Chains A and B, each alone.
Chain A
Amino acid sequence: MFATVLKLVGRRVLAAIPILLVVSALLFCVLRLLPVDPAAMSLPPTATVAEVEAKRREMGLDQPLPQQFLIWLRDVLHGDFGRSIHLNRQTGSLVGATLPATIELALFAMALAALLGIGGGLLMFHARNTVFEAIADLGSILLLSIPEFLWGLILLFVFGVTLQVLPFTGRLSPGLPQPHITGFLLLDALLRGRFDIFLSAWQHLILPAVALALAFSPAIMRVLRSSLFDVYHEDYIEQARMRGLSERRILLVHALKNAVLPTLTLAGVQFGFLFSGTLLVEVIYSYPGLGNLMVDAVRNADLPLIQAVGLTYCVVVLVINTAVDSLYVVLNPKLRVR
């Protein structure tokens, strides 16, 4: 099994190279087509036309577009993703500083979405052929129609402003120091042995993570329910009944194991969407992650930063897809046979 997974990862890594090249080329071209002059933007307002021209030459912007891309690619291969125009810092370090926050949020949200999705799917299936089926169906459609940013605002209003039980700005309460180790705040708090920081970070994570989870769990619910319907037509379910197993055991032990595979594929796709969904949620909750950085970059027409963050999103999605496919191989014995 390990060898199969390793092979899969190897194949995915190889395939990722042309994908990343194409995506970065597309991103590069689209950004260059925007009516924004990075040279002019990187200089103070008082810069003369001659100074802007000189800067343009220095940045290689007077070269043909393919040449510009090759220069950018060469720099990237040397670990230089460019300098942010607005913040005058290496974009690589900016991404590095904000990515852990977003990964932490996305992972927590995905875990919640999976929990809600699988739990909800099981309940919906359990409620089949009852009066609750239609209600559950309607409820899941309703949940599906509310986007993550709206959930963000609703939760903020209810739990942050009205009930005042959860914080909704940043990652940590004022008065608590930020333990700078890995950037993953929950982990860092544990490494420092600071339960108060851990608790505060966890509290700050709840609302944005739930907002994301609520938006993405209904799809998991519905796919799981549908898979369970399919699985229940298989012979082994009937055989399990004949062996005298309880309905609960059949559902949770035998049917779920097989029905969860298509759900896993969906979850992989959903995680990509969820990761990009952090963009608006991070702004609403003043959460200092990659999404917040991207919004700033777009607002300031900071092309090098947009390019770096865009590429990071692409890499993260590729990694997630590879991880999900690997997990699929682990869970599905049929895929291990060559």
Chain B
Amino acid sequence: MALKLQRRAFLQTAMAIVAAASSGVMRAAAAGNDAVTIGWPNDIPSWDPNQRFTPDAQPIFKAVFDQPLDQDPQLNLVAHLIKRWSLAPDALSMAVELRDDVKFHNGDKMSTGDFRYTFFERIKSGTKLDTANSWQKVQDIVIESPTRAVMKFDSPAPTAPQWMAFLGSYLVPKRYIETAGLDTFRSKPIGTGPYKLVEYELNSRIVLERNDDYWGPKPKIARVTIQIIKDPSARVAAIQSGQVDCTVNVPVREVARFGKESGFAAELNPITRVILLQVRNDLAFADENVRLAAHHAIDKAALSKAFYGDAAVPLSVVATPGTPGYLPDFVFKYDPELARQYLARSNYGPGKPVAIGFATTNGQFPSDYDIARAIVAMWKKVGIDANLEVIEYAKYFELNRATKLPEATLYSWDNATGDPEIFAGYLLNPKMPFSAWKGMEVGQKVIDLRGVADYDRRIAGYRDLNRFAVESGATIPLLQSVLTVVRKQNLTYAKYANGWLLPQSMQWT
């Protein structure tokens, strides 16, 4: 009897627990009209937005912090914290005028003191910041008033305005950091952005609440939860089950599937990110014939079709369509026969292949390893025998610095500004760690262009350079990258050409 009673009690308790677990579970996902949950692939590296250049973290930073300048969805530079700016003709100084109605989340008023602190003082103080590289030319920032200042550069900085809206350039609060300390700022960050951080759990979630004192347009969504879901399949499951309202970087095939399901919208958005082969100018690639053969042998349209559902535009230069350095009329053609001819000039061919090393990441961007394997197969057909090795993305710079990269490396390069300096000017500059190419015939052109202050002359120079670099085999651009987005159909967002998915641009319809 006693046992029976216990068993009954146990069963009743178990039933109650299951019922409780089942009821209201999907309340989790039921966001109302003033809340949204986003499934995001990566956590931020730190809440100090100047510390690390992480392209994927920019939309999160842009919700909490403001940049001095901003970009519109077509990537035109627009006024933001800076109302007006004027780059000197020699690009050795830039005068800026800040808004006078901006407050940090703690109520402190933003001024040129914060501007000087962000872009000069904290960099010179020795705090380890990636912005120390982007703003290394800053010699001083002269404060003329609480809203006016002049940036002084030690050498021409023609892309200073673009960098004001690019990686890591977020205004941070001088007084708060100096009084509360850097560790407090990193754990309880405040910015001037449209959202305030209310909760952060490492590797799990970020909760933002609308900043009702925001100086700019108020976001439509009051509460944003960014759920960190690293596994692409789990992100698919999360949107499918309604646990998130929107997610990014899901497999391309899933975009097609969600596109057919009612209640969902799915998009493949081409963005200002290029997928390319970084090449060396020595080893087997010292021979220009081999480099050009390697380029002509790659069927980029087939790669796009196979791995990006035809949405990734094949590229012939290191720039994406619509950006200033892009050459719409220049096509580097896929021609395996021509590739064989180039190889034959150097006494190579399918019967006597040239051996090269080829590195790729696996999982750094969608289908990277598969693309690399397909290229190996394409090369094999013309007489290039590539030994494929997988490297960690984190090791790219270390290997490059030690000149240990192989002849070719599959790489993805993000440039939210679209400016050609931040494409070819970085990727082909032998003095910079991004470039595997160390040849000065291309390199000197890049270095010369970095000092050109006149915008039109600079852009024309980069367009010439882009063509020259490809025709001499100094780079092998492949595809324009795409951002996959799946969302609930009644959730809209502003589509930025650089792939930013900004919570402040979202709204329920």
Interface stretch (choices B79-87, B128-136, B411-419): B128-136
Q: A169-B244, A206-B21, A301-B394 are in contact. Are A296 and B203 (CB under 8 A)?
A: yes
Interface stretch (choices B56-64, B235-243, B322-330, B332-340): B235-243
Determine whether the beta carbon of B237 is less than 8 Å from that of A286.
no
A52 CB contacts on chain B under 8 angstroms: 401
How many angstroms between the C-alpha atoms of A118 and B399 in the bound complex?
53
Query: Nearest A residue to B237 by beta-carbon distance?
Result: A161
Q: Check if B451 is an interface residue, CB within 8 A of chain A.
A: no
Determine whether the beta carbon of B22 is less than 8 Å from that of A165.
yes
Determine whether the beta carbon of A301 is less than 8 Å from that of B395.
yes
Q: Check if B9 is an interface residue, CB within 8 A of chain A.
A: no
Q: Which residue in A41, A86, A203 is a CB contact (below 8 Å) of B21?
A: A203
Query: Nearest B residue to A164 by beta-carbon distance?
Result: B241
Q: Check if A124 is an interface residue, CB within 8 A of chain B.
A: no
Determine whether the beta carbon of A40 is less than 8 Å from that of B397.
yes
Q: Check if B278 is an interface residue, CB within 8 A of chain A.
A: no
Query: Nearest B residue to A293 by beta-carbon distance?
Result: B203
B433 CB contacts on chain A under 8 angstroms: 45-47
How many angstroms between the C-alpha atoms of A200 and B51 in the bound complex?
35
Indicate the size class of the contact surface on chain B.
35 or more
Determine whether the beta carbon of B133 is less than 8 Å from that of A88.
no
**Residue in A36, A175, A178 with the greatest tally of chain B CB atoms within 10 Å:** A175
Determine whether the beta carbon of B241 is less than 8 Å from that of A161.
yes
- Return B221 CB to nearest CB of chain A, in Å: 12
Q: Check if B223 is an interface residue, CB within 8 A of chain A.
A: yes
Q: Which residue in A36, A88, A160, A170 is a CB contact (below 8 Å) of B205?
A: A170
Determine whether the beta carbon of A49 is less than 8 Å from that of B401.
yes
- Return B272 CB to nearest CB of chain A, in Å: 19
- Return A168 CB to nearest CB of chain B, in Å: 7
A49 CB contacts on chain B under 8 angstroms: 401
Q: Check if B228 is an interface residue, CB within 8 A of chain A.
A: yes
B5 CB contacts on chain A under 8 angstroms: none
Q: Check if A232 is an interface residue, CB within 8 A of chain B.
A: no
- Return B192 CB to nearest CB of chain A, in Å: 23
Determine whether the beta carbon of A171 is less than 8 Å from that of B204.
yes
How many angstroms between the C-alpha atoms of A97 and B203 in the bound complex?
11
B53 CB contacts on chain A under 8 angstroms: 44
> Mostly helix, strand, loop or mixed at chain A's interface?
loop
Determine whether the beta carbon of A174 is less than 8 Å from that of B31.
yes
B130 CB contacts on chain A under 8 angstroms: 44
Determine whether the beta carbon of B234 is less than 8 Å from that of A167.
no
Interface string of A198-218 (1 = CB under 8 A from B): 011011001000000000000
How many angstroms between the C-alpha atoms of A97 and B401 in the bound complex?
35
- Return A219 CB to nearest CB of chain B, in Å: 24
Determine whether the beta carbon of B229 is less than 8 Å from that of A169.
yes
Chain B residues numbered 231-255 whose CB sits less than 8 Å from any CB in chain A: 231, 233-234, 237-238, 240-244
Determine whether the beta carbon of A300 is less than 8 Å from that of B394.
yes
Q: Which residue in B3, B243, B432 is a CB contact (below 8 Å) of A168?
A: B243
How many angstroms between the C-alpha atoms of A296 and B204 in the bound complex?
12
- Return B304 CB to nearest CB of chain A, in Å: 27
Q: Which residue in B31, B202, B398, B401 is a CB contact (below 8 Å) of A36?
A: B398
Q: Check if B1 is an interface residue, CB within 8 A of chain A.
A: no
Q: Check if B46 is an interface residue, CB within 8 A of chain A.
A: yes
Q: Check if B214 is an interface residue, CB within 8 A of chain A.
A: no
B37 CB contacts on chain A under 8 angstroms: 174
Q: Which residue in A88, A284, A295, A301 is a CB contact (below 8 Å) of B45?
A: A88
Q: Which residue in A156, A177, A288 is a CB contact (below 8 Å) of B234?
A: A156
How many angstroms between the C-alpha atoms of A231 and B508 in the bound complex?
66
Determine whether the beta carbon of A200 is less than 8 Å from that of B231.
no
Q: Which residue in A156, A168, A170, A301 is a CB contact (below 8 Å) of B392?
A: A301
How many angstroms between the C-alpha atoms of A41 and B128 in the bound complex?
13
Q: A46-B433, A169-B244, A288-B201 are in contact. Are A37 and B35 (CB under 8 A)?
A: no
Chain A residues numbered 95-141 whose CB sits less than 8 Å from any CB in chain B: 97-98
Q: Which residue in A94, A157, A203 is a CB contact (below 8 Å) of B237?
A: A157
Determine whether the beta carbon of A178 is less than 8 Å from that of B199.
yes
Q: Which residue in A46, A161, A170, A284 is a CB contact (below 8 Å) of B432?
A: A46
Q: Check if B26 is an interface residue, CB within 8 A of chain A.
A: yes
Q: A206-B21, A284-B231 are in contact. Are A167 and B242 (CB under 8 A)?
A: no
A301 CB contacts on chain B under 8 angstroms: 392, 394-395
Q: Check if A166 is an interface residue, CB within 8 A of chain B.
A: yes
How many angstroms between the C-alpha atoms of A300 and B46 in the bound complex?
14
B199 CB contacts on chain A under 8 angstroms: 177-178
Determine whether the beta carbon of A160 is less than 8 Å from that of B241.
yes
Chain A residues numbered 157-190 whose CB sits less than 8 Å from any CB in chain B: 157, 160-161, 164-175, 177-178
Query: Nearest B residue to A160 by beta-carbon distance?
Result: B241
Q: Check if B207 is an interface residue, CB within 8 A of chain A.
A: yes
Interface string of B28-67 (1 = CB under 8 A from A): 1101000101010001011000011100000000000000
How many angstroms between the C-alpha atoms of A284 and B395 in the bound complex?
26
- Return B437 CB to nearest CB of chain A, in Å: 16
How many angstroms between the C-alpha atoms of A94 and B225 in the bound complex?
22
Chain A residues numbered 58-107 whose CB sits less than 8 Å from any CB in chain B: 86-89, 94, 97-98
A36 CB contacts on chain B under 8 angstroms: 395, 398
A286 CB contacts on chain B under 8 angstroms: 203-204, 227-231, 234
Q: Check if B27 is an interface residue, CB within 8 A of chain A.
A: yes
Q: Check if B180 is an interface residue, CB within 8 A of chain A.
A: no
Query: Nearest B residue to A282 by beta-carbon distance?
Result: B203
B434 CB contacts on chain A under 8 angstroms: 45
A88 CB contacts on chain B under 8 angstroms: 45-46, 51-52, 128
- Return B410 CB to nearest CB of chain A, in Å: 18
How many angstroms between the C-alpha atoms of A45 and B203 in the bound complex?
24
Chain B residues numbered 1-34 whose CB sits less than 8 Å from any CB in chain A: 3, 20-22, 24-29, 31
A47 CB contacts on chain B under 8 angstroms: 401, 433
How many angstroms between the C-alpha atoms of A153 and B242 in the bound complex?
17
Interface string of B203-231 (1 = CB under 8 A from A): 11101000000000000000101011111
Q: Could you list 16 further interchain pairs (A-B, Cβ under 8 angstroms) beyond the known A165-B21, A178-B201, A286-B227?
A: A40-B401, A41-B395, A44-B53, A45-B397, A46-B432, A87-B45, A165-B25, A166-B22, A168-B241, A283-B230, A283-B231, A286-B203, A288-B205, A293-B202, A295-B230, A299-B394
For this complex, 11 residue pairs linking A to B, each with C-beta atoms less than 8 Å apart, are A40-B397, A44-B128, A87-B46, A89-B46, A175-B35, A200-B28, A284-B234, A286-B228, A295-B230, A301-B394, A301-B395
Q: Top 3 A-B pairs ranked by shortest CB distance?
A: A173-B28, A288-B204, A174-B225
